[in-house]
Amino acid sequence: MLPFLVITIPWSPDIARLGGLILTWHGLFTAAGILAGVQLSLWAGRRIQYDEDHAYSLALVGVPSGIAGARGLFVWEHWTYYRENIPSIFLLTEGGISVWGAVLGGVLGSLIFAWLRGYEIRKGLDIASFGLILGMAIGRLGDLVNGEHLARATSLPWGVIYTHPDSPAFAHSLIVGPHHPATTYEMLADFVILGALFFCLFGPLRRRSGMTFFVFLISYSVMRFLVTYLRVDSADTLVTGMTVPQLVSAVVVVASIPAILYLLRLPPTSDAPPPPPVAGRIPVSRG
């Protein structure tokens, strides 16, 4: 029995062609996600009194590092194809990126830069988590529109089907019919994680710098591990039987445990001073 709530997506994955350049929905939402994520990280940095110049510098390093990591992990995951087509590795306009690669590449590049420059690392990681999760959530809107990632046939009351011949999911929709909007599940979970980050950074973990970042990392890892069961476009690893995203998720969780234990052994940081008063208002002493 077919789902009664089937969302038909009829759009081409390409918005327009400008000479030799192709403007795609995926590229548009990826760019929007990067811009929104950077702005949210800067806002969070101001709220916890993180040096704004340092935050801008880390963003300038983290964005290209994330792009390089996203492409690098995708190429590794699909090496069977790229080893026969080496020039295609550098054709970023043709698509093919890994979200996990973007996270790991962006964090690693920024972490090395911050360590070399003597920046405050733990607070930097905390504010970076906000930008990362928001950027990924917005970027997944592009995946929904163009059908780049393929999922299993749905047994739930809802599903998606792609009707444009240029969509990567067009043939898949013809074969399996309505299927799970797996990347949309991930997008919704990303926003839930974002809400948890606000709660942690400005609540119970406000004096535990660095811990909010690991709330993001662990929760995203668990969610991505589970959602990947619904997808059919990720390569299986030869040793574990897990897909590459699942293997990366498991490794990240295990590798995070020593870092979390280390942070828990550090003394709590002092509360950040209150934000400056709003212009035009005079603070009133109640003592």
**Average pLDDT estimate for 77-93:** 72
pLDDT of residue 141: 93
Number of Cβ atoms within 10 Å of the Cβ of 236: 12
Query: Does residue 273 lie within any of the structural domains?
Result: no
Query: Does residue 287 lie within any of the structural domains?
Result: no
Q: Which domain holds residue 223?
A: 7-12+21-265
Q: Which residues, at least 6 apart from 180, have a Cβ–Cβ distance to it below 8 Å? A: 151, 152, 153, 154, 156, 159, 160, 230
- Tell me: pLDDT of 93 over 60: no
Query: Does residue 130 lie within any of the structural domains?
Result: yes
Burial label, 168 (beta-carbon count in 10 A; 0-12, 13-18, 19+): middle
pLDDT of residue 223: 96
**Average pLDDT estimate for 135-143:** 93
% of residues, the chain, pLDDT over 70? 88
Query: Does residue 59 lie within any of the structural domains?
Result: yes
Q: Give helix 121-146 / helix 182-201 axis angle, nearest 10°.
A: 160
Query: Does residue 99 lie within any of the structural domains?
Result: yes
Q: What is the pTM of this model?
A: 0.86
What's the number of domains the chain is made of?
A: 1
Question: By three-state DSSP, how is residue 283 classified?
Answer: coil
Query: Does residue 275 lie within any of the structural domains?
Result: no
Query: Does residue 241 lie within any of the structural domains?
Result: yes
Report the mean per-residue pLDDT for the chain. Answer: 86
Which two tokens mark 100?
């996990």
Query: Does residue 286 lie within any of the structural domains?
Result: no
Cβ pair 37, 109 in contact under 8 A: no
Number of Cβ atoms within 10 Å of the Cβ of 72: 17
